[in-house]
């Protein structure tokens, strides 16, 4: 579903020679690395299906539309159109980025008890937050306090070599809070992420999601970035 009124696109394309050779790499919906019911009872299969097949897919579709319009506007040299499309690109592109990370942040319930991170990420967490539980409390508090929609992140700051808890609004990706921030874990606190199951009780969702968090993935990203 395109959210934008189309900017008039000329029906006959510009001659091939005059066209810039810019290729359009569109986004595609990544598959879930597990089945839709794999996170039950923490996150219901109904939510996972809607979240992946509807919400994430819509971000992908609308990002691709915005990208096409952007390319046309750039080709035409239409500066105000280029600027006008920025919010659609940021919102839908951000939604695609954030959710692509999110699916990897989660792992099936039957993959064993959620182990707290150990080795290097575990030590860094202890160093920067005092304890693993302190990190969880902080992320839950930030997630609960977030007004509106957004994400709460465990971020690794490459510049200062330390972990941080950050929140972003709507679908802003983590880099909007700092160019040197790398997302290790993101928790979606948009209402669509939990409402069908948890209704207004966001704190329950935040408390429970730790049972399906994929610390292995977070550890891998961390070890790659923390040289």
Partner 1 sequence: MAPNWCGCGVASANSAKLSTNGLKLSSNRFNFSKPYPRRAYRVTAYYGLTTPPYELDALEPYMSKRTVEIHWGKHHNEHVEKLNRHLKTSAFYGHTLEEMVKATYNNGSPLVEFNDASSVWSHDFFWESMQPKGGSMPTGGVLDQIEKDFGSFTNFKDEFTFASLSLFGPGWVWLYLKRNEKKLAVAPTQNAISPLVWGDIPIIGLDMWEHAYYLDYKDDRSAYVNNFLDHLVSWHSVMVRMMRAEAFVNLGEPKIPVA
Q: Name the residue nearer to partner 1 (CB basis): 140 or 214.
A: 140
Whole-angstrom distance, CA of residue 218 vs CA of residue 187: 13
Closest CA to 111 of 206, 33, 56: 33
Is 99 labelled a binding residue? Answer: yes
Nearer to partner 1 by C-beta: 132 or 195?
Answer: 195
Q: How far is the CB of 15 from partner 1 (least distance, A)?
A: 35
Contact 14, 75 (CB under 8 A): yes
Phi then psi for residue 107, to 5 deg, are -145, 155
Annotated binding-site residue? 188: yes
Taking the least distance from each CB to partner 1, the nearer of 94 and 219 is 94
Please check whether residue 62 is in contact with residue 2, taking contact to mean a CB–CB distance below 8 angstroms: yes
Which residues are at the interface with partner 1 (CB under 8 A)?
Answer: 1, 3, 5, 50, 54-55, 58, 87-88, 91, 147-149, 169-171, 190-192, 195-196, 199-200
**Residue 118 annotated as part of some ligand binding site:** no
Query: 164 - beta bridge partners?
Result: 155
- CA atoms within 13 A of residue 97's CA, in its CB half-sphere: 18
**Backbone phi, psi, residue 66, to 5°:** -65, -40
C-beta of residue 189 within 8 angstroms of C-beta of residue 201: no
- Output the smallest distance, CB 78 to partner 1, in A: 20
Least separation, in Å, of the C-beta of 3 and partner 1? 6
- Provide the terminal-to-terminal Cα distance of the chain, rounded to the nearest Å: 43
Q: CB of residue 147 vs partner 1: minimum separation in angstroms? A: 5
Which residue, 95 or 219, is less far from partner 1 as judged by CB?
A: 95
CB-based contact 95:63 (threshold 8 Å): yes
Smallest distance, Å, CB 74 to partner 1?
Answer: 22
CB-nearer residue toward partner 1: 166 or 172: 172
Residues placed in the known binding site for Mn(2+): 51, 99, 188, 192
Residues placed in the known binding site: 51, 99, 188, 192
């Amino acid at each position: 579903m395109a959210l934008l009124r189309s900017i008039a696109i000329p029906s006959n394309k510009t001659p091939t020679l005059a066209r810039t050779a810019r290729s359009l790499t569109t986004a595609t919906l990544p598959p879930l690395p597990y089945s839709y019911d794999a996170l039950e009872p923490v996150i219901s299969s109904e939510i996972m299906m809607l979240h992946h097949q509807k919400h994430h897919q819509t971000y992908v579709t609308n990002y691709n539309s915005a990208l096409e319009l952007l390319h046309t506007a750039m080709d035409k040299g239409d500066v105000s159109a280029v600027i006008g499309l920025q919010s659609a690109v940021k919102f839908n592109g951000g939604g695609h980025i954030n959710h692509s990370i999110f699916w990897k942040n989660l792992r099936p319930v039957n993959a064993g008890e959620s182990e707290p991170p150990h080795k290097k990420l575990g030590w860094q967490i202890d160093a920067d937050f005092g304890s693993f539980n302190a990190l969880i409390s902080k992320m839950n508090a930030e997630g609960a306090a977030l007004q509106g929609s957004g994400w709460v992140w465990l971020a690794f700051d490459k510049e200062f070599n330390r972990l941080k808890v950050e929140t972003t609004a709507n679908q802003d990706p983590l880099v909007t809070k700092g160019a040197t921030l790398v997302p290790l874990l993101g928790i979606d606190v948009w209402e669509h992420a939990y409402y069908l199951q948890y209704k207004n009780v966001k704190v329950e969702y935040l408390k429970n999601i730790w049972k399906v968090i994929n610390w292995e993935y977070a550890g891998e990203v961390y070890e790659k970035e923390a040289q």
